[in-house]
Amino acid sequence: MALTRSPACDDGRVPSTRAEPMARAIFAALGGTVEIGAVRSAGTWLLADVSVGAFLAPRVEDLGRLMEGVRVVGRFSGEVMAIADELGYFRDHEVSAASLLLWSEGITGVPQPPERLEEPALVRRMCRIGVDLQLTRLLQALVTAALAACTEAGEGAEAISGIVRGATRLADPVEGRTTPADIHRMWRVAHLPAILRPASDAPDWGKAGYRAYDAELERLVEGEGPGLVRPCV
């Protein structure tokens, strides 16, 4: 997604035409995170035992806080935030093996016969791969939306780190093996080199912004004290 500054509307929110693609990227990554969390929470790795509704029921307030953070970081309007409801990720629905294959980008491959994708060992592997991919993409989508909305790192990084913390709890509700620090490091090596290389078509202000967010997120999620990390801009 090309990075462009979004002129704010009169009420300070980003115009819907510019905000919608960024919001959809965030909601999709969160949708994958919720489905994977529901599978992990069931504990059996059998898709027939998975209930997204039952998984989200005790987490409604947590999800609400997370979505409010998304709204603030991206300066999204109510119209844009309503897209999340339209997509249906955050209400009860079936989780299929095909969905997990999508979230894990097909890295496991498709066995023969394809019905083997529902085997617990493959379901577990797709979840482990998918959670890394979707949380990393979530962080990229959040930082991109924040920069497009002119939300500076000093203001936006704390909110983004809170969203990532909440999302990791959703994605890994049982084992707790996934941490925000893990997601930050994966995001940095997966996304920043292409953006920050000299030949990149990213604007200079965008490169400076990504560097600032990287440094501030590192301070927040790696537990470093204030002022110890400074981006080179």
210 close to 218: Cβ distance less than 8 angstroms: no
Three-state secondary structure string covering the chain = CCCCCCCCCCCCCCCHHHHHHHHHHHHHHHHHHHHHHHHHHHCCCCHHHCCHHHHHHHHHHHHHHHHHHHHHHHCCCHHHHCHHHHHCCCCCCCCCHHHHHHHCCCCCCCCCCHHHHHCHHHHHHHHHHHHHHHHHHHHHHHHHHHHHCCCCHHHHHHHHHHHHHHHHHHHCCCCCCCCHHHHHHHHHHHHHHHHHCCCCCCCHHHHHHHHHHHHHHHHHHCCCCCCCCCCCC
Q: What is the pLDDT of residues 162-192, one digit of tens each?
A: 999 999 999 988 877 889 999 999 999 999 9
Is 90 exceeded by the pLDDT of residue 142? yes
Question: What are the residue boundaries of the structural domains of the chain, listed by start?
Answer: 16-221
Query: pLDDT for 7-59, tens place per residue?
Result: 554 455 677 778 999 999 999 999 999 999 999 999 999 999 999 999 999 99
Per the prediction, the chain carries an average pLDDT of 90
- The reported pLDDT for the residue numbered 149 is 93
